[in-house]
Every structure is written in structure tokens, then in C-alpha cells.
Amino acid sequence: MKKIAVVILNWNGAKLLEQFLPSVIAFSNEATIYVADNASTDTSIEVIQNQFPSVKIIQNTGNFGFAKGYNEALKFVEEEYYALVNSDIEVTENWLTPILEIFENQPETAIIQPKLLDFKKKTHFEYAGGAGGFIDKFGYPFCRGRIFDTVEEDLNQYDDEIEIFWATGACFFIRKEVYRKLNGFDDDFFAHQEEIDLCWRAFNLGYKIKYTSKSTVYHVGGATLNEGNPRKTFLNFRNSLLMLTKNLPKNQLLPILFMRLCLDGLAGIQFILKGKFKHFFAIIQAHFYYYHLANQFYKKRGAIQKSNYYKINSIVYRYFIKNGKVFADLF
């Protein structure tokens, strides 16, 4: 058996599979390649069977979203390392080699992210993960190479290997034993920020999350749910609050949640001023869903919550007030 499994989650993405599977197959000799299909109603299965017969198919019984979709599929994948790859990712030659080297030589490293560049503008980082993710004290995520809507050009400024707080779900490497120890992603997230929640839980247990620039992939981004969709706003705001409830240190939980709810209110006002009323109502809806689920998620808290989880106090303050538009300006 090969040591690494490349697992691509798919839902009605026949055209994406036709476009992006060839690069994965061409440059992944070290891996077994799977497509985990979330009960697609298009020609996805036929495309794989007819055009990519070497790819193994795992058929989920419904559209379970990202979190449960992977959880269900990975029950059938026994390779030592998982590469969870979006269907809109183009990989590059030798993309797996540096990942395998880190896993083999650094037993404390459980999760790894490659350099994520924009498929449509290959000179720049891509929104979803850039060069590795961090969060601030209030749970707002940001990346090296992307803070809010400011995306940096790749000028080799992040050509390194460092410890990060979260790795993007667009191209997410994890040891099978750690994935199963953590019971995988949280099904209740459906999609968005479940990878940050998983990384936070791994961090609380003492595992390391790494970024390496020696592996590069290109991501289209927004191929299944684009940035302008209010559904994305709803999921991001709701899931961020749920993640904080699960993972914050107990003595910080209520004050930080209160401040976060206030900051979300400011975000809602900003949407109103921009005329994005559907996004404003998406935040309202997210908060009501959060109140309904808060107690359930509080019961999911692990035994350990570390207090040194954040990189800076407030990315909102640094970005909007202090004009810290790129990662280097934050410190």
C-alpha cells in the first residue's frame, strides 16, 4: 500500500474533475487517488470511470458538505497520510515529496499546508490559505499572503517552513492516526472553518501544524460557493462562533464571545453601508443559529484548551485602524 492518499471531495463537479484531475494523476505517483463523491447528480461518476479509470471512487449516500463528506469517505481510506484536496486544485511536479519528508522526519507534525497560489492569477497568493493561517484573539482568521480582502503577490517572501495555527481545507495534509483520534471534522459545521476547528483541537493536544513553500498548488477558489454568496457569510460567521465555544480557554470564553458578537455587529453595519443587505441578514441568521446550538457545542469542549492560540490581539484593529494590510505590517 502507498503511504499517502489523495482524496478529492466532489459534488456535481464533472467539469472541474475533467480540468484538474489530470495534473493530480500526472504528479502523484507516490499516492493512491480517490474521489469521494457527495451523491452527485451530474456526470461526475461517468467521467471518472471513463476518463480516469485509475482513480478509486467512494460514493457517499448524500450531499454531506465538506465536513461530513470527508468523515464518511475517509472511513474507507487506510493510507498513513491523507491529502484532502479540493476539486479545483492544480498541483505541481513533486508536490508530495516535501510533505512526505516532513511527516517522516517530524513525528510531532500532524498537519501540513503547501503554498497556495491563485489559479487565475498565478503570481499571487490565493484567498483561502495563502502561506499558512493564524487567528486573532477573537477568532478572526487571516493568512500570510491574505488579510481580509488584501491578497499579496508572491515575491518569495514566504519561501520557508514554519509552524502555523491552521492549514487551509483547500489542500490539507494530515496523519490518518491524528484525524481519527480527533474524530475528523465536526459534522455540524457542514462547510467553512471546520479545518480551523480541527487544527485548533490538534493544537490543544500538543500537535504541530506546519507550512512548507517547497510544495506549491494552484486554487481556483469559490468554485462551489463564491465569496459573494450570503450562504458563505452565514456559514463563516456561525461556524466561527461555534468554534470559539468549543476551543477557547474557559476563563476567556464569555468575554471574548461578547466582544466577538459586538464586532460581528460592526461587520453587519458595514454590509448595510455597502448595500449588501443579504449579507447583513446572513449575520443575523448566523447569530440566531449560534444561540440555538451554543449549549450543544459547549458540551463538545475537550479536556485541554491552550491560551496561546492567537498571533495578535485584533486583526480588525490592525487592518482597519492601523492600516496593516499585509502580514509584515502586523508586527
Whole-number mean pLDDT of the chain?
96
Please list the residues that pair with 81 across neighbouring strands.
Answer: 4, 175
For the segment 187-223, what is each residue's pLDDT rounded down to a tens digit? 999 989 999 999 999 999 999 999 999 999 999 986 5
pLDDT at 226: 61
For the segment 123-178, what is each residue's pLDDT rounded down to a tens digit? 999 999 999 999 999 999 999 999 998 999 999 999 999 999 999 999 999 999 99
For the segment 217-251, what is each residue's pLDDT rounded down to a tens digit? 999 986 555 667 899 999 999 999 999 999 999 99
Residue 280 C-alpha cell reads as 447583513
Rounded to whole angstroms, the Cα distance separating 11 from 255 reads 39
For the segment 248-283, what is each residue's pLDDT rounded down to a tens digit? 999 999 999 999 999 999 999 999 999 999 999 999
Q: What is the 3-state secondary structure (H, E, C) of the chain?
A: CCCEEEEEEECCCHHHHHHHHHHHHHCCCCEEEEEEECCCCCCHHHHHHHHCCCCEEEECCCCCHHHHHHHHHHHHCCCCEEEEECCCEEECCCCCHHHHHHHHHCCCEEEEEEEEEECCEEEEECCCCCCCEEECCCCCEEECCEECCEECECCCCCCCEEEECECCCCEEEEEHHHHHHCCCCCHHHCCCCHHHHHHHHHHHCCCEEEEEEEEEEEECCCCCCCCCCHHHHHHHHHHHHHHHHHHCCHHHHHHHHHHHHHHHHHHHHHHHHCCCHHHHHHHHHHHHHHHHHHHHHHCCCCCCCCCCCCCCCCHHHHHHHCCCCCHHHHC
For the segment 26-85, what is each residue's pLDDT rounded down to a tens digit? 999 999 999 999 999 999 999 999 999 999 999 999 999 999 999 999 999 999 999 999
pLDDT at 225: 56
* Residues 6+ positions from 22 with CB-CB distance below 8 Å: none
Q: 266 vs 23, 136, 213, 221, 325, CA distance in Å?
A: 43, 17, 36, 26, 19
- Among 244, 258, 261, which residue's Cα sits nearest to residue 297? 244
